[in-house]
């Protein structure tokens, strides 16, 4: 299960930051490209299961999927690709290349206050 290894890496990173902050994490936000093979529900469940009994138990997870980007070969504009239309948002050309999908990134960790 791909989500389990992602959850393990997230937990390790969040736990390390938790030790530095000396506070309990309550929420984490990650982002990834739309072609990233992450199932939101499975990742959330995996993180919940492996964080039991740790300082991260009960942490909430927000997942943002970044759109695929394209570069128009006709007008040079970068744009969010709409796979139902598959054309440049600026000039309508169908001659474009797909740019690299956004990587999975831990964007932020929210900690308890007080």
The per-residue pLDDT for range 76-95, each reduced to its tens digit, is: 999 999 999 999 999 999 99
Question: What is the distance, to the nearest Å, from the Cα of residue 70 to the centroid of all Cα atoms in its chain?
Answer: 19
What residues make up the domain containing 33?
A: 2-111
Q: How far apart are CA 51 and CA 87, in angstroms?
A: 43
**CATH code, domain with 102:** 3.30.2320.80
Q: What pTM, to 2 d.p., does this model score?
A: 0.85
The per-residue pLDDT for range 20-31, each reduced to its tens digit, is: 999 999 999 999
Q: How many domains does the chain have?
A: 1
Q: At what angle do helices 40-50 and 2-21 cross, to 10 degrees?
A: 50
C-alpha to C-alpha distances, 30 to 20, 23, 98, nearest whole angstrom: 20, 20, 22
The per-residue pLDDT for range 37-79, each reduced to its tens digit, is: 889 999 999 999 999 999 999 999 999 999 999 999 999 999 9
């Amino acid at each position: 299960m791909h989500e389990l290894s992602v959850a393990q890496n997230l937990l390790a990173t969040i736990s390390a930051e938790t030790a530095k902050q000396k506070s309990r994490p309550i929420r984490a936000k990650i982002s990834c490209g739309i072609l990233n093979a992450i199932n939101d529900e499975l990742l959330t469940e995996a993180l919940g299961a492996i964080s039991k009994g740790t300082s991260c138990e009960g942490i909430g997870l927000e997942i943002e999927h970044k759109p695929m980007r394209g570069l128009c070969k006709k007008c040079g504009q970068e744009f969010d690709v709409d796979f139902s239309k598959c054309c440049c948002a600026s000039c309508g050309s169908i001659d474009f290349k797909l740019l690299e999908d956004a990587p999975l990134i831990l964007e932020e960790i929210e900690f308890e206050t007080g």
